[in-house]
Structure 1
Amino acid sequence: MAKLSTIKRNDSRFYVNKETGEKVPGVTSIVDMIPKPFLMYWAAKMAAEYTVDNIGSVVQLLLDGQRDVAVDAVKGAPRRSTGDAAKVGTAVHDYFEQYARGTPPKRVPLDVQPFADHIAEFHDRYQPEYLYLEQAVWSESHNYAGSFDWIARIGDEIVIGDTKTTRSGVHAEVALQLAAYRHADKIVTQAGDEEPVPAINAGGVFHLRPEGWKLVPVRTDRVVFDHFLSLRHTFDWVKSLSGDVLGDPDYDSTAELSTGSQRRAK
């Protein structure tokens, strides 16, 4: 298989075979089909906290006649919060990969240093032997692809692992994500080479926060994978089929009313 690239379409990520042009949805975009009603309340809380903490600035904008600017500032609070967390998460992921490859940077940013200490502790405790780092999987059987953090031998187990820095902890959906990687048809390396997925028998999340870390076991068995496949079908429905199931009405009384109104207006 040729090298893979990614594109974004309608807020979803797709993996593309550069040689054939074949396009399949990414694992995380498929898992995003799970409803997340709590995000609505979280976003409202972020907007409310921003308004309270910056009430003077918001009121001044209103007094200056800049209502649209005030609205944009308030509604952008959730995005700014996740953006700041994502920057730290990306920096920690980069440091983890360098450390795992045996080439940790000599200088570590202050906001990454607590995480760097935990990464060293994790490696001292578990002595993981990495088989793959930051590679992709492809499923021809079920038409999906994705990028995983690491596969390592820890003790007598082969573990598919994910490194996370989320403030809210480890969520159950990560099991669907890791199960999808485990049960894919093949690994596609960054060089474009194809290799079989090793016989994985465990899943885990290495969860880091500034105050500490933990390794959380995660189920990745066939039962969990079957639930992922259900979401794979849901993805097709939401992104494609749902837009093609309703035809033009045989009769539409509102169309006649609209036409009559237009005639009277003339």
Structure 2
Amino acid sequence: MTIQTTDRGPRHYFDTTAPEVRYPGVTNIVGMLPKQFLQRWNANMAADYAVENSDILPRMVERDPKAARQAIAGAAYRYTKKRSGIGSEAHDLFERLIRGENIGRFQSQDMVPYVAHFREFLDAVNPELVRAEDVAWSDTHRYAGSFDAILRIWLDEKNAITADRSGTPYLAMVDWKTSKSTYPDVALQMSAYAYADEIISPDGTREPMPEFDLACVLHITDSEWEFLPVDIDRDTVFAQFLHLRQTWEWDTKLSKKVLGSPIAQKSGAIQTGTQRRSK
């Protein structure tokens, strides 16, 4: 038995021995949050592109108006695609580093500061790797998702890191982020992983999800890094994630069934007796 994902459209996870049972991915469920700010951000990205390319846009419009329009409208998409590529490459390197692999000079030049900052994190925190890049699976609430890492870290009585591991050990669900900022919805994502029923390894081995002492996000950019605690309270944060799970159900399934066929509707134009007799 292995777990696979669908990559066309919203991601779903399924067991190859029972492919008819497909659970939505955690990040897609969290994506149900309203994001009104994105409309303004998309508009600003398009406006910035138009201003920055004002010298060549007239020629683009004259030569191919459709292509010029697509270039302006696609500014936000190109930015997010580039950031996604950076994030994927960084996550791959972080996993290699946390597993103790010597990555040498294989990373691209863009990755040099990310790798340096991750190494600083390893030196400053000295975590013990418990699991990495496995699947959190919930039959109870019907979702799944791939988490970044489960780490054991050591804290003193003031909740400060003890890199020499002299403090108290804590089991932490950890997420790596390479976005411009750390956003609150990471708490929803991490609570879903932490309160899933099981962990599924690449070979299909299942074991119960452990109880966590805390959750943390490691935010790394090309200029800085920080390791932050994240509130994943079951009664508040995870409960909000479950509300979004119901919103997913509405958006992808129930909303497509609630409108029935017309039981009355406009017919053809009425023809009066006077109109019939005049023919």
Task: Quote the offset at 1:56 in angstroms.
Answer: 2.3
Task: Quote the offset at 1:104 in angstroms.
Answer: 3.0
| 1:178 aligns to 2:200 (yes or no) | no
Q: CA RMSD in A?
A: 1.3
SS in structure 1 at match of 2:147: strand
Relative to structure 1, is the Cα distance of residues 247 and 106 closer, same or farther in structure 2, using a 3 angstrom cutoff?
same
Q: Which residue number corresponds to residue 88 of structure 1?
A: 86
SS in structure 2 at match of 1:63: helix
Q: Which residue number corresponds to residue 264 of structure 1?
A: none
**In structure 2, C-alpha distance between the alignment counterparts of 1:62 and 1:118, rounded to whole Å:** 44
8 Å CA contact retained: 1:95, 1:104: no
Q: How does 1:47-196 map to 2 (within 5 A)?
A: 47-64=46-63, 66-107=64-105, 108-155=107-154, 156-167=169-180, 169-196=181-208
Q: Which residue number corresponds to residue 31 of structure 2?
A: 32
Q: Which residue number corresponds to residue 249 of structure 1?
A: 262
- Residues 177-232 of structure 1: CA deviation (Å, up to 9, x unaligned): 00000000000101111011122121111000111100111011212111111111
Q: Highest CA radius of gyration, 1 or 2?
A: 2
**In structure 2, C-alpha distance between the alignment counterparts of 1:63 and 1:142, rounded to whole Å:** 54
2:241 to 228, 233, 244: 228
**In structure 2, C-alpha distance between the alignment counterparts of 1:212 and 1:8, rounded to whole Å:** 32
**In structure 1, C-alpha distance between the alignment counterparts of 2:205 and 2:68, rounded to whole Å:** 51
Task: Quote the offset at 1:110 in angstroms.
Answer: 1.5
8 Å CA contact retained: 1:150, 1:160: yes
SS in structure 2 at match of 1:12: coil
Q: Which residue number corresponds to residue 227 of structure 2?
A: 215
Task: Quote the offset at 1:49 in angstroms.
Answer: 0.7
**In structure 2, C-alpha distance between the alignment counterparts of 1:231 and 1:153, rounded to whole Å:** 30
**In structure 2, C-alpha distance between the alignment counterparts of 1:256 and 1:172, rounded to whole Å:** 55
SS in structure 2 at match of 1:236: helix
**In structure 1, C-alpha distance between the alignment counterparts of 2:133 and 2:212, rounded to whole Å:** 16
Aligned pair count?
253
8 Å CA contact retained: 1:13, 1:29: yes
**In structure 1, C-alpha distance between the alignment counterparts of 2:40 and 2:102, rounded to whole Å:** 39
SS in structure 2 at match of 1:172: coil
SS in structure 1 at match of 2:263: coil
**In structure 1, C-alpha distance between the alignment counterparts of 2:204 and 2:95, rounded to whole Å:** 20
Q: Which has the higher helix share?
A: 1
| 1:239 aligns to 2:252 (yes or no) | yes
Q: TM-score, normalised by structure 1?
A: 0.92
**In structure 2, C-alpha distance between the alignment counterparts of 1:247 and 1:90, rounded to whole Å:** 43
Moved over 6 A (4+): none
Q: Which residue number corresponds to residue 6 of structure 1?
A: 5
